Amino acid sequence: MRGFYFNKGDSFSSELGLSKDGLRLLAKQGNLEIMQQHIVKGAVVWLVPGESQDDLDFFYVHSGRIDIITDELNESFAPGDSFYVRDLKDETFLKVREDSDLVYVSTAPVFDDQAAFQKDLLNMVAQINRKDDYTYVHSRNVMHYSVKLFTALKQLCPAQRLEDMVVSALFHDIGKCRVPDEILKKKEALTGPEYEQMKMHTVFGAELLTKYYPEGVTGLVLRHHERLDGSGYPFHLSGDEIPFGARILAVADSFDAMTTDRGYNKPMDALQAAQELAGEADKYDRRVTEKLLEMVRSGELKLEGK
């Protein structure tokens, strides 16, 4: 019928027919888009300030549960609840408690960008997963710890964007895709040349990500093994040459490595690891390690699942 469009089951109105990785475009008129978004439990989702203060993003929770936790807000959204953002000041992180379906209405066109972004992200996560299980679980854990630490310390570095922190943490070791398996999975200590190759994962990672992400992301990936006293790699940067985001990554990365059973060293518990990192003020930013210790002690930060 002329002027009537519909979507049923998995089939879409011929006008649209668009479905990309969890995001479906249900209707569109001019800049207005109505979408359905499926988000799996634990996924990383955040709201970013719109380009114009007139843009509005509306979300209706159809199923599942979403929490929004910021300095000023602590709200949980269940089926039937909705929220919208307009003239948002800061990036806001959503915690997806259960697999969720949202109806998402945006007054600015977001579908193509969002869909492309999600697809790249998922492809890269799958790439790490195929390469080795450890790196995949490790990446997710480092992301969770980094976000927790960053959220608690954000006032120390207002210029650091949450979005860049999340993406760089999730992909900090993606360069390992280019390190040969016999080195990556070697149980014994690496030889000198092997270790040199392993160190290259920082450079490979930044190279791989350049196509998709800004310097704010690649710069952190490149520098996540630098240490304050200049003993890190690949550039032996020291002190102020290491951005705050990379310092957070360094702590989150080491914390996960120390508390995970990787077959050679007995894993530490969270408190032991946090104390040890706090004792290494020459290498790790004291503000970050002390926040970690405080959050472990208060139970605010717990070990992620392996």
Residues that bind Fe ion (CB under 5 A): 173, 253
Q: CA 271 to CA 195: how far, in whole Å?
A: 29
We find the least distance from the C-beta atom of residue 202 to Fe ion, in angstroms, to be 6
Q: Are 198 and 135 in contact (CB under 8 A)?
A: no
We find the least distance from the C-beta atom of residue 256 to Fe ion, in angstroms, to be 7
We find the least distance from the C-beta atom of residue 111 to Fe ion, in angstroms, to be 33
Instruction: Select 69 or 200, whichever has its Cβ closest to Fe ion.
Output: 200
Q: Are 223 and 169 in contact (CB under 8 A)?
A: no
Instruction: Select 96 or 166, whichever has its Cβ closest to Fe ion.
Output: 166
Q: CA 94 to CA 172: how far, in whole Å?
A: 21
We find the least distance from the C-beta atom of residue 249 to Fe ion, in angstroms, to be 8
Alpha carbon of residue 87 to chain centroid: 23
We find the least distance from the C-beta atom of residue 145 to Fe ion, in angstroms, to be 11
Instruction: Select 56 or 137, whichever has its Cβ closest to Fe ion.
Output: 137
Instruction: Select 9 or 263, whichever has its Cβ closest to Fe ion.
Output: 263
Q: For residue 128, give both structure tokens.
A: 């790490």
Instruction: Select 253 or 304, whichever has its Cβ closest to Fe ion.
Output: 253
- What are φ and ψ of residue 254, in 5° steps? -65, -40
Q: Identify the CA nearest to 138 among candidates 299, 273, 249.
A: 249
